[in-house]
Amino acid sequence: MNNGFEPNIIGFLCNWCAYTGADLAGVARMKVPSSLRVIRVMCSGRIDPLFVIKAFLKGADGVMMMGCHPGDCHYQKGNFSARRRFMLLRTILDNLALEPERLGLWWVSASEGQRYSRVAEEFANKIKNLGPSPVRGEIFL
Amino acid sequence: MKGSILPFEKDLEKSILAFLKTGLDKECFEAVLIPHKIPSDDNYAYLLIKDKTLLQGASPLPPVIPVQGAKAVSALTRWGPSKKKILAVMHPCEIRATVELSKLRQASLDNLVFLSFDCPGVMPLSGYVKNPGEGDPAYQDARQKWESAKMRPVCQTCSEFGAPASDLHIGLLGAEEGNAFLFPASLEGKRIMDKLGLETSASSDGWEREVEKLKKAREEKRRGAHQSLQTRVEGPDKLLETFSSCINCHNCMRVCPVCYCRQCYFDSDAFKLPPENFLARAQKKGSLRLPADTLLFHLGRMSHMILSCVSCGTCEDACPMGIPVAQVFSLVAENAQRLFNYVPGRSKEEPLPAAVYREEELCEMEKPYLETYARTGERDASASENK
Amino acid sequence: MPQLLKISKSVDEGTKAFLEFLLKEKKVCGVITLRKIHGDQGIGYSLITRPDDLEEALPLFPLMPANGGKILSRLTLRGSPKEPVAAVMKPCEMRAFIELIKRKQGSLDNFVFISQTCPGVYPIEMSSGGDLETLASRYRENIQLGENIPETRSACRTCLHFTPPNADIIVSLIAEKDLDKSCSLFLNSKKGEALADGMAGERREQTLDSPELRLLHNKKKEERKKLFDEMGTEMRGIEGLIRLFGKCIGCHGCSYVCPLCYCDLCFFDSKPNESRPISYQGDLERKGATRIPSGTIFYHLGRLAHMSVSCIGCGMCTDVCPVDIPVSTIFSRVGESVQKIFDYRPGMDVEEVLPFAVYKEEEFQEIGEQ
Amino acid sequence: MSRDFTPKIIYFMCGWCGTGGSETASAYHLCYPENVLPFRVNCTGSLSSVHVLRAFIEGADGVIISGCHPGDCHYEDGNFRARRRVATVKSILDSLGLGEERIWFRYIAHGEGKRYVDTAAEFNDYIKKLGPNPLKERNDT
């Protein structure tokens, strides 16, 4: 199915919830795909759309954004902003037919190690099925 | 000067590419910076190429300069010299601008080798992208004849088409049918040629003669062009007429290889004025053009970079209004640079004129002090007259 | 229902007479309008304070040498004028200014706006070397027919907001039958009525809306759909993007003339965006070759992320592009869908908050929960 | 030229010498025309060419730049650099026929009050003879 393709996935994780959730998953020895590279941000609201665009243009096959559940943001409303930015990005990618399905947003709390492991695994499988990003080999960027 | 004959395999571009390929093979350099056609086939872009197979599609002699090569080198080395040895294939004016940028500390020449060629000029960009099918044969024609009204106006009068401060130079003028003349212009160039086993024994006399001849003709042409331009732009009235259609997009500044500032002074807070300022200026004259300070932008930009202006013509290419910016700058640059006997990009060692001075120069700048007007204890005559 | 003031002069002369009236009666201290710059050579905005200088004014000229919103922002960035100033702006310029005010780049105080039902403008390159008089007269003929004018900017031919929502005075142009003889000014606000107080002319109550305007709206809508569909087939995936934006020479002229790109120093011109040698080396190792300077696609995608939500579709960016990239079409197409998801109409109301300055807890609830 | 033309003259002077020259002049009660407006800069070497051009375009009929005598610069070489800069600006204006003769450069030492006043008066007369700067009335700059 995947003919040996190992994707490059970038995850932007909120320091307070998803990142701790990832920690928990690690401590509990849950399975997390090795293709996911995690970048810790202080809040999902800190994820500048440009970070995501840059990740894609540098050849990432998928990008995960993770933040606290609505209402649980450490900074009260960062994740609501993140949600709007996610919608913006998805609309732009969709409009340009740049495979918006390679971008995802999930709410993962600090105690949801299991959920973290599951969504990461699911997303990695989805990307594997999608195959490598067409941006990867482009030299005229 | 001695050099070697570079025989054509199929055509000139192919043989240059073959030369570059052997260079990569024999590790004379690790990557090549060279223009390459873009996928939409109507423009070129600089590529840094390591992979030999990708070199196949490169165009060492592109018909346009989309991005001034100096800007490409600056993007590459502004933050420090390249770790890999890079060979850059560029037009002479691009190499000269790169040298200027290195003096302005916006590019590093370390680990960089330049390959230049006798430049037949390039075509105006906006015309070319509209119809590349027409542009390509016109450019081939110009390469044969060394004279074409379809090239950029500043290219037609350029006399610096020969070897600039490069390391390797390909002479096309005076070469026999089916070959070109490759010679080392620096020790580094010689080293590369030695490593490639290219002899440097052929004489360059024929090339030098032709270059001299064309140079004379071009200088003559430039004098004529500048004279006729001067009649069109001299004086406030005609100058303002020339810049009357300027829409203040600052494209000329953005593409200028020498204008390296991230934020131009003319976009800075110094020009963000309270409304009273604009109103007062308008009231003084009856009306005020907006955006204001158009002439100040052009003259100010001139005063900032004119001594390093290589007259490449990129500014004119980028102007959406077709203002002959490059021609005006070329006229002013020639006079200003003559003042300091400075040719931008001529040598890597020559310092920028604004960075040095000689104590005994420019004595005529001071207005001689001859008359005395001062009187003590009473109001000055001319002052009271003004009352 | 707004009041209609009919002046029995041609529409250009009538508008000019009105501006002159404003200046002479000291109702405003200055007028910002298009004017001939240096005889017939160029057209540009000008701040006119002396009534005599209105002689050369061309308030309704079909050209946009710079987006007026940007000019007003330059003027009011450091405070608003002490006395009223009248600005003759096209609807998209007004909308741009309102977007800029939301970004705290200007102020509406002490401004009166005179706008028009806008039939569109010609691309700016048509003004250089072209004959301005013939350009204007050809335009006038087309307006009277109420048709979409060929040769105007594609952004204008597909513009759906050609009637200004919040101008104080609106000059009616579209489908006016006798532009040579009469000039119709709609006094659209209390401010506008106060301004016109004392101006000679016939007055009556009338709505701006007309079947002709609605017809034109539909025509433009059709053309918009066609243009966007065509663009949709071109902007497909990374290959499509490279085909569209690959020839970009990085002059960033589109951002410089964009009325919404107000930053002093654009992120894409700033230090953090400059690639370090190690970045180029990484790309070189991975792909065997890389574009220098890199970041062409990143610039355009990034600018889309920054301002597509406020894109008012004025078309300045396409006009200044030296390599003819249809920037404006791409931006307004993406902008339309982005604005739709946030239910945002840029430039309509100064009170409407920017989508990225607010959020609603109950929106997009399905996102993030799967 | 009409007699009642009062030129506007901008007098850029070095803070160490030219300004001193004006102080010396005032100590000796030496007068100079009041339409000569002095502007103090710390050193002529710090005077940007854009300021000179701005004065020139926005209403000055003439500009004088006065620095320390060669060799006397407080910063060693500011006046030499200024001289090169003035030469460049004058060359630009000359090439474009904008009247480079309206810009003067003269050295004035701290003690030379008389020279300071003479320069102002002489330049004032000179500009009066030349007439108004054609640029200052233009509304299309």
Residue-by-residue DSSP string for B92-107: HHHHHHHHHHHHTTSS
Q: What is the pLDDT of residue B386?
A: 43
Q: List chain B residues with CB under 8 Å of D31.
A: 375, 378-380, 383
Domain boundaries, chain D: 9-130
- In one-letter notation, the amino acid at residue B222 is R
- Name the residue among B38, B114, D116 with its Cα closest to residue C248: B38
A83 touches chain C (CB under 8 A): yes
**pLDDT over 50 at B385, yes or no:** no
Cα separation, C118 vs C317, whole angstroms: 19
Q: What is the pLDDT of residue B9?
A: 63
Do chains A and D touch by CB distance (3+ pairs < 8 Å)? Answer: no
Q: Which residue is associated with the tokens 């574009």?
A: C291
pLDDT in tens, D79-131: 999 999 999 999 999 999 998 999 999 999 988 888 999 999 999 999 999 99
Q: Is D49 in Cβ contact with B374 (below 8 Å)? A: no
**C42, closest residue in chain D (CA to CA):** D140
Q: Structural domain of residue A35, as residue ranges?
A: 9-130
Q: List chain A residues with CB under 8 Å of B45.
A: 140
**pLDDT over 70 at B374, yes or no:** no
pLDDT in tens, C220-263: 999 999 999 999 998 889 999 999 999 999 999 999 999 999 99
What residues of chain C, 51 to 70, have a C-beta less than 8 Å from chain B? 52-53, 65-66, 70
Q: What is the pLDDT of residue B10?
A: 65
- Name the residue among B157, B169, B108, B126 with its Cα closest to residue B312: B157
Q: List chain C residues with CB under 8 Å of B323.
A: 128
Mean pLDDT for C275-297 is 91
| Both structure tokens of D91 | 């060359």
pLDDT-derived band of residue B382, with 50, 70 and 90 as boundaries?
A: very low
Residue-averaged pLDDT of chain B: 88
pLDDT in tens, B53-106: 999 889 999 999 999 999 999 999 999 998 899 999 999 999 999 999 999 999
For residue D20, the distance in angstroms to the closest alpha carbon of chain B comes to 16
Q: Is B54 in Cβ contact with A140 (below 8 Å)? A: no
CA dist C40 to A54, B265, C63, C140, Å? 47, 31, 14, 19
Kindly report the CATH number assigned to the domain that includes residue A52. 3.40.50
Q: List chain D residues with CB under 8 Å of B289.
A: 139-141
Cα separation, D67 vs D74, whole angstroms: 10
Mean pLDDT for D34-47 is 92
pLDDT-derived band of residue D4, with 50, 70 and 90 as boundaries?
A: confident
Flag whether A141 is in a domain: no
Q: Are B261 and C263 in contact (CB under 8 A)?
A: no
Best residue in D8, D50, D105 for a mutation probing chain B (most B CBs within 10 Å): D50
From first CA to last CA, the distance across chain B in angstroms is 72
Which chains would you list as touching B if contact means 3+ CB atom pairs under 8 Å? A, C, D
For residue C152, the distance in angstroms to the closest alpha carbon of chain A comes to 26
Domain boundaries, chain C: 3-218, 232-357
C238 touches chain A (CB under 8 A): yes
| Both structure tokens of D58 | 């926005």
pLDDT in tens, C315-334: 999 999 999 999 999 999 99
**pLDDT over 80 at B378, yes or no:** no
Q: List chain D residues with CB under 8 Å of C46.
A: 139
Mean pLDDT for B117-138 is 91
Q: Is D57 in Cβ contact with B295 (below 8 Å)? A: yes
Beta-sheet strand order (sheet of B44-49):
B202-203, B2-7, B179-184, B168-171, B112-117, B86-89, B31-37, B44-49, C289-292
pLDDT-derived band of residue B8, with 50, 70 and 90 as boundaries?
A: low
C130 or C369, greater pLDDT: C369
Instruction: Check: pTM over 0.90? Answer yes or no.
Output: yes
pLDDT in tens, C14-70: 999 999 999 999 999 999 999 988 777 788 999 999 999 998 899 999 999 999 999
Q: List chain D residues with CB under 8 Å of B340.
A: 84
Q: What is the pLDDT of residue B146?
A: 86
B21 touches chain C (CB under 8 A): no
- In one-letter notation, the amino acid at residue B27 is E
Cα separation, A65 vs D68, whole angstroms: 64
For residue C231, the distance in angstroms to the closest alpha carbon of chain B comes to 15
Q: Show the low-confidence residues of chain A (pLDDT under 70).
A: 1-3
**C250, closest residue in chain A (CA to CA):** A141
pLDDT in tens, C154-196: 999 999 999 988 899 999 998 888 888 899 999 999 999 999 9
**pLDDT over 70 at D1, yes or no:** no
For residue A28, the distance in angstroms to the closest alpha carbon of chain B comes to 44
Q: Is B47 in Cβ contact with A139 (below 8 Å)? A: yes
Q: What is the pLDDT of residue B375?
A: 59
Q: Is the ipTM value over 0.90, yes or no?
A: yes
Q: What is the pLDDT of residue C129?
A: 62
Q: What is the pLDDT of residue D5?
A: 87
- Exposed e or buried b per residue across D50-87, where buried means at least 16 C-beta atoms within 10 angstroms of its C-beta: bbbbbbbbbbbbbbbbbbbebeebeeebbbbbbbbbbb
Q: List chain D residues with CB under 8 Å of B354.
A: 81, 84-85, 88
**pLDDT over 70 at B114, yes or no:** yes
Mean pLDDT for B379-385 is 45
Neighbours of D100 (CB within 10 A): 17
Flag whether A86 is in a domain: yes
Using a 10 angstrom Cβ sphere, with 0-12 exposed, 13-18 middle and 19 or more buried, the burial of residue C233 is exposed
Q: Is C289 in Cβ contact with A138 (below 8 Å)? A: no
pLDDT-derived band of residue D141, with 50, 70 and 90 as boundaries?
A: confident
Fold type of domain D9-130: Rossmann fold (3.40.50)
**A138, closest residue in chain B (CA to CA):** B39
Q: Is C38 in Cβ contact with D139 (below 8 Å)? A: no
Cα separation, B116 vs D35, whole angstroms: 57
For residue B311, the distance in angstroms to the closest alpha carbon of chain D comes to 15
Q: What is the pLDDT of residue B384?
A: 43
Flag whether A139 is in a domain: no
- Exposed e or buried b per residue across B87-103, where buried means at least 16 C-beta atoms within 10 angstroms of its C-beta: bbbbbbbbbbbbbbbbb
D141 touches chain C (CB under 8 A): no
For residue C158, the distance in angstroms to the closest alpha carbon of chain A comes to 18
- H helices of chain B, in order, are 12-25, 52-55, 69-77, 92-103, 125-130, 132-145, 153-156, 187-195, 205-233, 235-242, 251-255, 275-285, 294-305, 314-318, 325-339, 381-386
C257 touches chain B (CB under 8 A): yes
Q: Is B363 helix (H, G, I), strand (E, B) or coil?
A: helix
Mean pLDDT for B335-349 is 92
**pLDDT over 70 at B387, yes or no:** no
pLDDT in tens, B175-200: 777 778 888 888 999 899 888 888 87
Flag whether A22 is in a domain: yes
Q: What is the pLDDT of residue D14?
A: 92
Q: Give the count of domains, chain A.
A: 1
